[in-house]
């Protein structure tokens, strides 16, 4: 066993940004900044619109408000540090602050997944058992589901920084990433990290398998109910209420799954490509979600048009 007295624990990490593309950091910062601004603006509009429009005070839109707040929190925990690296060469990151960023990023990602499950359940109840919709999805139930998703994320991610704190970090302090990602930090430890790696992949797989399984089950039930409807118009109307949610699922899970797989089994994928995907999958869904719901949901679309263009006649279509 090495004598710890001969080593000094590192107090900070050096975040490279995107390896191999350092000369283009100032340009890469432009889309990051744009996505961050659009995330804050778009999600704020969604929240204000739902707050001001009484007809939107329904479970589906309460979940959407939670998603919007979580998206802003996720982007805010990631983008400012990225912009500091890309524009200000602020590569140094205190050890504990790095762990805090890692914790919040992964917590908000798991909360996002839980909210997508809750929204799928909302669509299941609305389409499959509509007569019980108001009794099943009460305001109290919506709050409980939101709290359950948040508590699950907090408890699942909490062991990650605690397990990292027990590891010695002596010499390696350079993180080839644009933010403090769990596996990127674990790899720098000067000790066996099997427990950390096993726990990290267990959390990722359990969340993805469980949540995607619940979402798939909900939509299988929805499709079965829809295709039992005799009217083509009724089928189209039922499916259209799910369109925005399906788009959000695809936008959220597709890049996340790609990033997860390339980080662990994609040995031939250039690091710069992986890090770009890993960075933008945290920024693109929060930007796209309000656009998807704004375009696909007539009540939100009409209310937003009314807010910004009060003299414009609202479409009846």
Range in 72-76, 130-134, 223-227 with the lowest mean pLDDT: 223-227
Res 118: pLDDT = 94
Locate all alpha helices (DSSP H) within the chain, ordered by sequence.
25-52, 59-76, 79-88, 95-128, 133-136, 139-157, 159-165, 182-186, 194-226, 232-240, 243-264, 271-296, 298-308
Highest-confidence range of 148-152, 262-266, 270-274, by mean pLDDT? 148-152
Q: What does the pLDDT look like over 161-216, one tens digit per residue? A: 999 998 888 888 898 889 998 888 998 888 888 999 999 989 988 998 999 999 99
Question: Taking residues 136-150, what's their average pLDDT?
Answer: 94
Residue 84 has pLDDT above 90, yes or no: yes
Other Cβ atoms within 10 Å of 254 Cβ, number: 12
Query: pLDDT of 225-261, one tens digit each?
Result: 887 777 777 777 767 767 777 877 887 777 777 766 6
Task: Please give the Cα distance from 191 to 171 (Å, whole number).
Answer: 12
The pTM of the full predicted model, rounded to 2 decimals, is: 0.89
**280: pLDDT strictly greater than 70:** yes
Query: pLDDT of 105-127, one tens digit each?
Result: 999 999 999 999 999 999 899 88
Which residues touch 82 (CB under 8 Å, ≥6 apart)?
17, 29, 32, 178, 179, 279
| Distance separating alpha carbons of residues 201 and 183, to the nearest angstrom | 9
Distance CA 109, CA 252 (A): 9
Note the pLDDT of residue 251.
78
CB atoms within 10 A of CB 5: 6
**pLDDT surpasses 70 at 266:** no
Q: Tell me what pLDDT residue 14 has.
A: 92
The answer on pLDDT for 148 being more than 50 is: yes
Most confident option among 150-164, 249-263, 279-293: 150-164
């Amino acid at each position: 066993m090495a004598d710890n007295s001969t080593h000094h624990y590192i107090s900070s990490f050096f975040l490279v940004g995107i390896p191999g593309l350092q000369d283009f950091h100032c340009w890469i910062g432009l889309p990051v900044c744009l996505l961050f601004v659009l995330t804050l603006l778009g999600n704020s509009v969604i929240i204000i619109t739902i707050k001001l429009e009484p007809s939107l005070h329904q479970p589906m839109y309460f979940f959407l408000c939670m998603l919007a707040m979580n998206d802003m929190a996720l982007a805010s925990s990631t983008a400012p540090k990225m912009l500091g690296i890309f524009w200000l060469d602020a590569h140094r990151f205190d050890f504990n602050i790095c762990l805090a960023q890692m914790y919040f990023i992964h917590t908000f990602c798991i909360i996002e997944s839980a909210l997508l499950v809750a929204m799928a359940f909302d669509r299941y109840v609305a389409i499959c058992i509509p007569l019980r919709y108001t009794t099943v999805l009460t305001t109290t139930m919506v709050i409980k589901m939101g709290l359950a998703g948040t508590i699950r994320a907090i408890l699942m991610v909490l062991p990650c920084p605690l397990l990292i704190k027990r590891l010695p970090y002596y010499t390696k302090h350079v993180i080839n990433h644009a933010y403090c990602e769990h596996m990127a930090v674990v790899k720098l430890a000067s000790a066996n990290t099997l427990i950390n790696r096993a726990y990290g992949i267990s959390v990722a797989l359990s969340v993805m398998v469980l949540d995607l399984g619940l979402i798939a089950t909900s939509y299988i039930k929805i499709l079965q109910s829809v295709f039992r409807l005799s009217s083509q118009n009724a089928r189209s109307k039922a499916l259209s209420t799910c369109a925005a949610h399906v788009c959000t699922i695809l936008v959220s899970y597709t890049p996340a799954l790609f990033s997860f797989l390339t980080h662990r089994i994609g040995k031939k994928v250039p690091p710069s490509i992986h890090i770009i995907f890993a960075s933008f999958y945290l920024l693109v869904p929060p930007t796209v979600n309000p656009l998807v719901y704004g375009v696909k949901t007539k009540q939100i679309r009409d209310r937003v048009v009314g807010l910004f263009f009060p003299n414009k006649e609202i479409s009846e279509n």
